[in-house]
């Protein structure tokens, strides 16, 4: 499974890019707002830091304006993926962009039918929002499983990008449910490696090794 980072903070992206685990970046208008940065500038800066896919979201709601915005975004750098809402206008824009070879990420997906439409429109990624479904007592992981089944049955190439990840369990559960990618906030990425038994076991090994008086180097 690929790991994307869900942030518009360049410092976080640099840190995780250096770890070697990062396969891409997703941003959205709320993350741009939190960064306090100009969107076009920050997307260009992110694309200079990392050459993997970087999702940048259109702001318009109508197809003609979305398309114009998409052209501006895709010209920022070759690794920009145009993020579009999963609406009829977004899907029309997706089909148009797919026809001219521009990669897309269909966002705010909450149903298998929306995912089916995105695949038919030639989307590169579909982003089911797990955490926001869990927030209202729906099962985000079931949605990923349903989309996986549909995409596998019909051999759609669209990649399932598990979004709105709120917990470490969301990451492993999304992998088990068949997601191709998880986009993860830095706070959750940082927690993935931790296990108290690893820390406890390592402490014992360090102490026992010291007491042997040996060295390797
Ligand atoms: C994904 O592309 C979105 O940017 C993101 O995962 C939304 O997460 P949230 O529901 O925590 O805002």
b/e burial code for range 3-16 (CB count within 10 A of at least 16 → b): bbbbbbbbebbeeb
30-48 pLDDT tens trace: 999 999 999 999 999 999 9
68 is catalytic: no
pLDDT of residue 90: 98
Average confidence (pLDDT) over 177-199 = 97
Mutate to test the pocket of ligand 1, among 31, 131, 138, 161 (most ligand atoms within 8 A of CB): 131
Q: Which residue has the tokens 């982003």?
A: 127
| Ligand 1 atom nearest to 31, measured from its CA | 4
Q: What is the pLDDT of residue 71?
A: 98
Q: Is any atom of ligand 1 closer than 6 Å to the C-beta of 127?
A: yes
pLDDT tens-digit map of 144-160: 999 999 999 999 999 99
Residues facing residue 128 across a β-bridge: 109
Question: How is 61-103 classified by DSSP, letter by letter?
Answer: SSHHHHHHHHHHHHTT-TTEEEEEESSHHHHHHHHHHHHTT--
Is there a contact between 161 and 179 (Cβ–Cβ < 8 Å)? yes
Cβ of 86 closer than 6 Å to ligand 1, yes or no, is no
Nearest protein Cα to ligand 1, atom 6: 164
Q: Find residue 25's DSSP bridge partners.
A: 5, 54
Which residue among the candidates 14, 68, 83, 157 is catalytic per the annotation?
Answer: 83
Q: Where are the domains of the chain?
A: 2-212
Q: What is the CATH number of domain 2-212?
A: 3.20.20.70
Q: State the chain's mean pLDDT as an integer.
A: 97
80-111 residue pLDDT tens: 999 999 999 999 999 999 999 999 999 999 99
* Ligand 1 nearest-atom number relative to CA 166: 11
Q: Is the pTM of this model over 0.85?
A: yes
Q: Kindly indicate the confidence band of residue 176, based on its pLDDT and cuts at 50, 70 and 90.
A: very high
Exposure of 215 in the CB half-sphere (CA atoms within 13 A)? 1
């Amino acid at each position: 499974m690929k790991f994307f980072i869900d942030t518009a903070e360049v410092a976080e992206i640099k840190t995780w890019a250096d770890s070697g685990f990062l396969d891409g970046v997703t941003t959205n208008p709320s993350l741009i707002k939190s960064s306090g940065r100009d969107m076009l500038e920050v997307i260009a800066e992110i694309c200079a830091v990392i050459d993997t896919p970087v999702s940048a979201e259109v702001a318009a709601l109508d197809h003609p304006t979305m398309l114009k915005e998409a052209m501006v975004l895709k010209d920022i750098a070759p690794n920009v993926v145009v993020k579009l809402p999963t609406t009829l206008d977004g899907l029309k824009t997706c089909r148009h962009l797919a026809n001219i070879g521009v990669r897309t990420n269909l966002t705010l997906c909450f149903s298998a039918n929306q995912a089916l439409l995105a695949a038919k429109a030639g989307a590169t990624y579909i982003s089911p929002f797990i955490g926001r479904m869990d927030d209202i007592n729906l099962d985000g992981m079931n949605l990923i499983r349903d989309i996986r089944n549909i995409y596998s049955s019909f051999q759609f190439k669209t990649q399932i990008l598990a979004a709105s990840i709120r917990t470490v369990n969301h990451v492993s559960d999304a992998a088990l449910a068949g997601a191709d990618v998880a986009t993860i906030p830095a706070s959750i990425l940082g927690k993935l490696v931790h296990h108290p038994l690893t820390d406890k076991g390592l402490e014992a090994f360090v102490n026992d090794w010291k007491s042997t008086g040996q060295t390797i180097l």
